[in-house]
Structure 1
Amino acid sequence: MPKLSVIVPCYFNEENIPVTVRELVANEAHFPPDVTFEYVFVNDGSGDDTLGALRRAQSLYPTRLRIVDLAGNVGSYNAIVAGMAHATGDCLAVITADLQDPPELMATMYEYWQQGFKLVIGNRQDREESGISTRLANAFHWLMKHLALRNIPEGGFDFVFFDRQVAGEVLKMHERNSNVFYLMVWLGFAYVNIPYTRRKRQIGQSRWTFPQKVKLLIDSLMAFSFVPIRAISVLGLGLGLIALLYGLYVIGLKIVHPDEPAGWPTLMVVLLFVSAFQMVALGVIGEYVWRGLDAARKRPLYVVNKVFEESPPEAPADADSGRY
């Protein structure tokens, strides 16, 4: 009797929880009757009543829901790792709490898992949403595919279905400042890619800010690619060649026109350009050094405040009011 653990990271999802839980439970009808389910909701330090909403939902489905309440906000990827560590299923899936990814796709993913695939990816072929955020997301995944991991699918993904072995390998790495989904692909297991159209968010607002997106891009590139440090080397060699040619030019100019004064503007341009390159180079090297220091500290990726494995003693008064 296979068991499926569905991991749902939650951050300021108080309004989403009732709908999400109801749709996930209803989605069980798409699976064979011998499959059992476990829903691991990870509260990533939400500042609203997400935990309360989860506890109310747990009172309605006490045998299905497990709640991992983290002590503080550690980011969705670390929250997913926490969910993986507390999941007990033979196979696992990760889906967002806002249900922009279709839960019914998990049944098809499960079929591929039964065929022997240890990793099944649902990638965003298209989006119902549009705007600058969509263009930035597409640019991010294009950079990652062409500069870091060439075997990832086009369009990006954060909806995955994977075997217990994949979860175990990811947990053993204790990777910091990385991307847990790219780690799954990096492991090298053959995977199936299922394209889909991502839904428009219906409830609440995304807390995924622009600075967080920039940090994710930097973390992902530096975790899976040597391109930034290699670019510095190539640019440094190029600047060295330019400096050599310019030096020869200056020497030749001095021989041909010994009385001509040196050019102040040219000197300042060269000085500022080289100084700017040095600062950028130091910044990139510093990013790599900081990540090495952060890994050497061996601080935990997350701290669990409490794990709720059973429903509250009594269901809340509004449990039968149709809220869930």
Structure 2
Amino acid sequence: MKKISIMIPTYNEEENVEPLSEAIINVFETELVDYDYEILFIDNDSHDQTRDKLEGLCRGNHKIKAIFNAKNFGQFNSPYYGMCQTSGDCTICMCADFQDPVDMIPKFVDEWEKGYKIVCGIKTTSKENKIMYFLRSCYYKLIRKMSDVEQIEHFTGFGLYDQSFIDTLRNLKDPTPFLRGIVAELGAKRKDIPYEQAKRRAGKTSNNWYSLYDAAMLSFTSYTKIGLRLATIFGFICSGISLVVALVYFVLKLLYWDQFPAGTAPILIGMFVIGSIQIFFIGLVGEYILNINSRMMNRPLVIEEKRINFEDDDKKENECS
């Protein structure tokens, strides 16, 4: 009997973990009766009753597992690490707030049985804030045009991943993994399935402008070269313009030294313009350096505080760390 792993990252989801686990179990008991399953929750240091709820679920069902992180390791490391800890023939990654529809699970499995190694859920519409959806759409189109790797628009990580791809993730040893980019770059035999993203069932999202910026910069600095290329090109152009202006000013000063005004306004304006361009690109180059620094430190993705119901496969504890 094939085993399907459902991996769910959590952070302050006390109102959602119990109904979500019930909905998933119901899918396996009614539509996927020929498959075994495990549900793995990986909690990123919640401060509400999420962990108490998860411990109760694990006591009631041995197929429900939980990993408690020692602290919050971010929105990318924790899910990636959780995927590496699954033991199924395939792994389905979904969020805990019901924005990823549970009824998509049988559709993913059906495409997987047809031979696809990765099945991605693609948001074609969303009930989230329309402004946010528009901004996300602009970002996806922008990064897709600039990236050397063809990026997947409106893909959040919700989807099914064959065990062979999970093994690839385990072997990457990437300390700053960006799953969406990795799927686009390394994923083979991929099938995209459209769906409508629902509203959050309960609780408050942990996403904010800073976390969205962090995600955008990780994607930008991991899969594009255009930032550094623009810095080089603009630097070359500005240097050339500055040299020409300096030479012209010097020649005019020599020829018409008694008539040529000695005002400093043009010089100051040029300094401010060139200085602002330099500051912008220094910040952009800094983002690339920050990304390189994170990878060079090669720190573990997460540090576990506790894991529950892993008695049969503790060997995975040190993998993908």
Does the 8 Å contact 1:123/1:154 carry over to 2?
yes
Q: 1:319 aligns to what?
A: none
Q: 1:46 aligns to what?
A: 46
Change (3 A) 1:310 1:287: closer
Rounded to whole Å, the distance in 1 between the matches of 2:16 and 2:26 is 15
Q: 1:218 aligns to what?
A: 217
Q: How does 1:1-324 map to 2 (within 5 A)?
A: 1-29=1-29, 31-60=31-60, 62-148=61-147, 151-254=150-253, 257-259=256-258, 260-309=260-309
Counterpart residue type for residue 79 of structure 1: S
- What is the TM-score when the length of structure 2 is the normalising length? 0.90
Using the TM superposition, give the Cα deviation of residue 262 of structure 1 relative to its aligned residue in structure 2, in angstroms. Answer: 3.7
Using the TM superposition, give the Cα deviation of residue 72 of structure 1 relative to its aligned residue in structure 2, in angstroms. Answer: 0.5
Rounded to whole Å, the distance in 2 between the matches of 1:104 and 1:303 is 33
Q: 1:320 aligns to what?
A: none
Using the TM superposition, give the Cα deviation of residue 233 of structure 1 relative to its aligned residue in structure 2, in angstroms. Answer: 1.1
Unaligned runs of 5+ in 1: 312-324
The number of equivalent residue pairs is 310
Rounded to whole Å, the distance in 1 between the matches of 2:107 and 2:221 is 33
Using the TM superposition, give the Cα deviation of residue 104 of structure 1 relative to its aligned residue in structure 2, in angstroms. Answer: 1.3
Rounded to whole Å, the distance in 2 between the matches of 1:85 and 1:237 is 45
Using the TM superposition, give the Cα deviation of residue 116 of structure 1 relative to its aligned residue in structure 2, in angstroms. Answer: 1.7
What does the per-residue CA deviation read over 1:241-296, in whole Å, with 9 as the maximum and x for residues that have no partner? 32233234324533553321244111011112222222223222222223222222
Rounded to whole Å, the distance in 1 between the matches of 2:289 and 2:209 is 24
- What is the TM-score when the length of structure 1 is the normalising length? 0.89
More displaced stretch, 244-253 vs 200-209? 244-253
Using the TM superposition, give the Cα deviation of residue 29 of structure 1 relative to its aligned residue in structure 2, in angstroms. Answer: 4.3
More displaced stretch, 76-85 vs 273-282? 273-282
3-state SS of 1:107 partner: helix
Rounded to whole Å, the distance in 1 between the matches of 2:107 and 2:10 is 24
Rounded to whole Å, the distance in 2 between the matches of 1:142 and 1:248 is 43
Using the TM superposition, give the Cα deviation of residue 136 of structure 1 relative to its aligned residue in structure 2, in angstroms. Answer: 2.7
Counterpart residue type for residue 270 of structure 1: G
